[in-house]
A and B are shown apart, each in its own frame.
Chain A
């Protein structure tokens, strides 16, 4: 079996002729924990978006599991996304729904049964440490709690892969530590985790694989690396 994710000579030029990524070659194995680091505008988000099909390469190929994301038909895209959990810096929670509903939402779109929803949602809320907030609305929660809800939503479908784009960008260092610990737990349970981040202290502390981007070019890839901008 090959790697879970493969970038083959990937270049992305946006419509305004701004080049986000240039000739990226990258392999990520199943079960890995990978940090993507680099200054703002280095292409971290673009790289992540290509994994779950929000952006597509201008040239080159992106392979995720058995999917060729660079050529995926629109109709199949939802099914790729169901096997990938995504976490955002701004959480992207629905403000007018409870925590439970926000998480159940991701299951509902997969046509899950009521029973499956009733079983799976509390379990994943418990895992993320917010089971007691089940009936709260997002604006009643702290930033850290909101990010845990967003993590719960990403995990509820049992994804093979978790992608997090600056998950602690809006959080204080203490809260961020909690989120990273949770990401590590998820990784320990077998899910591949890819995190784009600026949190230098955490990257240096955790000593995971670090992929560094600069101006859209792959600058470094270390097995037990430290943060480099």
Chain B
């Protein structure tokens, strides 16, 4: 098609948005409200993921050394730990350091531990952090098999529960996002169908004077995309402003809650709502006009 025909179609799309002002506003509002919810769910999901990450990072394996391990054997174990895949970092806790910690935990009742210094029954150990919580049990097994390691301990049940919770939450939010997307497409398709219905006469005339399907379709799809992208950007911006405010409020009053920084998530939210707006507008208009093209 020539450029003047494209220009004509773009002009048609804009003119029709202006002519059907009420429908335009109604459609944009519908898109915006749906995508606002979508953006909010996404932001929430990001925060859940972050929370889960922080919680998961606190889980570690403790490997107790046999009392027979000497300097040389200790270095050998350290070398071996470095080779095990899945281990992110480890720290050696000597007998002395273990006792030190215990004293700290007892605090002002330190006196109870008087005399324990001489025998120090606490074993030396390694505190091991793994890259992925799902690797915990595997790494624990491997470490346990090393010579010089007496016992391995991690909070298996707690870890399993935590993994279950975070997995469920991630899966649940994906489900909500997908469900909302479908509902949104439905709503938009309906709104656009009203627009197309209002113009069925015009479409019929176009077809009768020999317009190809694409010449009828392109301005309408452009219209749908415009509605979608404006609604999407509006939703994204509102989301950004609200989240920045929530972040400011929560992080000043409850700083222990690890929230995702607005800078880290706002751009993505805007991209998602604008992108979803485009797709929804396009799909919605194509789906709703198919019937009216059969002339």
Q: Which residues of A contact B (CB under 8 A)?
A: 52, 54, 74-75, 78-82, 86, 92, 94, 96, 105-106, 108-111, 113-114, 153, 157
Contact = CB atoms under 8 A, between A and B. Distances in A.
Contacts of B19: 96
Given A81-B210, A108-B8, A110-B210, A92 B205 contact: yes
Contacts of B207: 78, 81
Contact of B210 (A75, A78, A96): A78
Contact of B208 (A52, A96, A108): A52
B242 interface: no
Interface centre among B4, B19, B204, B213 (most CB of A within 10 A): B4
B210 A111 contact: no
A108 B5 contact: yes
Contact of A109 (B4, B201, B204, B210): B210
Contacts of B287: none
Nearest to A83: B210
Contacts of B112: none
A106 B205 CA distance: 9
Contacts of B213: 74, 78
Nearest to B1: A111
Given A78-B212, A92-B201, A109 B2 contact: no
B215 interface: yes
B223 to A, nearest CB: 15
Q: Is the interface of B mostly helix, strand, loop or mixed?
A: helix
B1 A82 contact: no
Interface residues of B, number: 20
B209 A113 contact: no
B208 A111 contact: no
B4 A113 contact: yes
B20 to A, nearest CB: 10
Contacts of A111: 1-2, 5
B93 interface: no
Nearest to A82: B210
Contacts of A96: 19
B208 A113 contact: no
**Central interface residue in B201, B206, B295, by most chain A CB within 10 Å:** B206
Given A92-B201, A96-B19, A109-B215, A86 B208 contact: yes
A81 B208 contact: yes
A81 B209 CA distance: 6
A79 B211 CA distance: 8
B208 A92 contact: yes
A114 B201 contact: no
B210 A106 contact: yes
The 9 nearest A-B residue pairs measured at CB: A82-B210, A81-B210, A109-B211, A106-B209, A78-B212, A78-B210, A114-B4, A111-B5, A92-B205
A153 B208 CA distance: 11
B153 interface: no
B219 to A, nearest CB: 11
Contacts of B212: 75, 78, 109
A36 B4 CA distance: 40
